[in-house]
Amino acid sequence: MSLFSAVEMAPRDPILGLNEQFAADTNPNKVNLGVGVYFDDGGKLPLLQCVQAAEKTMMDKPSARGYLPIDGIAAYDAAVKSLVFGNESEPVKSGRVATVQAIGGTGGLKIGADFLKRLNPDATVLISDPSWENHRALFTNAGFKVDTYAYYDAEKRGVNFDGMLASLNAAAPGTIAVLHACCHNPTGYDISAAQWDQVVAVVKTRGLTPFLDMAYQGFGHGIAEDGAVIAKFVAAGLTFFVSTSFSKSFSLYGERVGALSVLCQNAEEASRVLSQLKIVIRTNYSNPPIHGGAVVAAVLNNPELRALWEKELGEMRVRIKAMRQKLVDGLKAAGVKQDMGFITSQIGMFSYSGLTKDQMVRLRSEFGVYGTDTGRMCVAALNSKNIDYVCQAIAKVV
């Protein structure tokens, strides 16, 4: 008998499990469209030039590694604030945003969840149906009851917007609504600017607490364009949470660079909120690591490196869009009868392909093309070498 005798084997993470299966697959043509990572046209994970330039400057002047403050690098937090809210925005100027560096976007969500649990322990959390698979687990583990709001409409191949509004309208005041700021994961379908206005209005009249998850800023229509939704919530006079991830936009997945920002009513409130966020951090992991935050701060705070980053991010965005079009054209050329044009109306890294679980299983076992059972494919992993093969494989299973 050991302390662990009764410990059950936890289910494998669906995406990481897929990766293991992919690694073991001996098919020479195998393609991994499962994991949410951007690869360049050569199939490689990019190391951005702006990141390399910032790192070179840092290495030329090596510095000792003391502890960071609990809330992270001040210049990093300031850069996040101006990226999310705008440098000249009223919330930044009035000092009513509390921002902390976090261990990736996931860390930002978790700090926010733990803080919210103290503020409003009985609140329900609403996530989109479907959502990033970790949203449910993360908020459940923070002690919340997690439910969904309507989102994906499989028949319409788009957002069930009436359903979404109805779900939010039916939510009790204080309900935490987790909203994908842009590039919805997993479906690839975002709501329009006019629809956002309606969501903001419902959130306001129902007294919901918005938690915007911004994991793909710059991957949709542009940095400012993707960030525009934040200004709508600000203009409505709401207080809210925003988690930021730089994993994709800086291709810094393993450095775990993210943040949580909380927009408060005034600067005094923000300083009280910040003090509580610091307690959450202190009692979880004490303070964040230096490297990733220092790189991102160096890039965002230097005009030349910032311009280089915007250029490189723009190239990633444009390449993904080009791959969407190639996928649509390639599927048609491979003989797929149904119109797959909806793929170009989706945005960001992912595409809900509409393929069934059986079709996805066949894609894996017969062709070594890996996507999730839900039909989600990472368009950002397609390239000029694998696209034809993927199109032909899909054509054979649909």
By annotation, the residues acting in catalysis are 132, 213, 248
For CA atoms 33, 347, 102, 279, give the dihedral sign. Answer: negative
Q: Is 106 in the site for ligand PMP (CB under 6 A)?
A: yes
Identify which of 215, 203, 220, 222 has the alpha carbon closest to the alpha carbon of residue 260. Answer: 215
Query: DSSP assignment of 175-214, as one string?
Result: -EEEEE-SS-TTT-----HHHHHHHHHHHHHHT-EEEEEE
> Which of 258, 292, 293, 330 is in the footprint of ligand PMP by CB under 6 A?
258
Closest approach of Cβ 81 to ligand PMP, in Å?
18
Q: Which C-beta is closer to ligand PMP: that of 71 or that of 394?
A: 71
Tell me, what amino acid is at 109? Answer: L
Q: Is 36 in the site for ligand PMP (CB under 6 A)?
A: yes
Closest approach of Cβ 159 to ligand PMP, in Å?
16
Q: Which residue is nearest to ligand PMP (CB)?
A: 104
Q: Is 293 in the site for ligand PMP (CB under 6 A)?
A: no
**Which of 3-11, 98-106, 293-301, 385-393 is the region at the interface with ligand PMP (rule: CB under 6 A)?**
98-106
**Which of 101-109, 290-298, 313-321, 329-337 is the region at the interface with ligand PMP (rule: CB under 6 A)?**
101-109
d(CA 204, CA 227): 19
Query: DSSP 3-state assignment of 95?
Result: coil
> Which of 76, 85, 115, 132 is in the footprint of ligand PMP by CB under 6 A?
132
Identify which of 310, 388, 350, 319 has the alpha carbon closest to the alpha carbon of residue 41. Answer: 319
Q: Is 213 in the site for ligand PMP (CB under 6 A)?
A: yes
Q: Is 227 in the site for ligand PMP (CB under 6 A)?
A: no
Tokens at residue 342, please? 């909806």
Q: Which C-beta is closer to ligand PMP: that of 158 or that of 348?
A: 348
Q: Is 215 in the site for ligand PMP (CB under 6 A)?
A: yes
Query: DSSP assignment of 334-362, as one string?
Result: TT--S--GGGGG--SSEEE----HHHHHH
Residues of this chain that bind ligand PMP (CB under 6 A): 36, 104-106, 132, 180, 185, 213, 215, 245, 247, 258
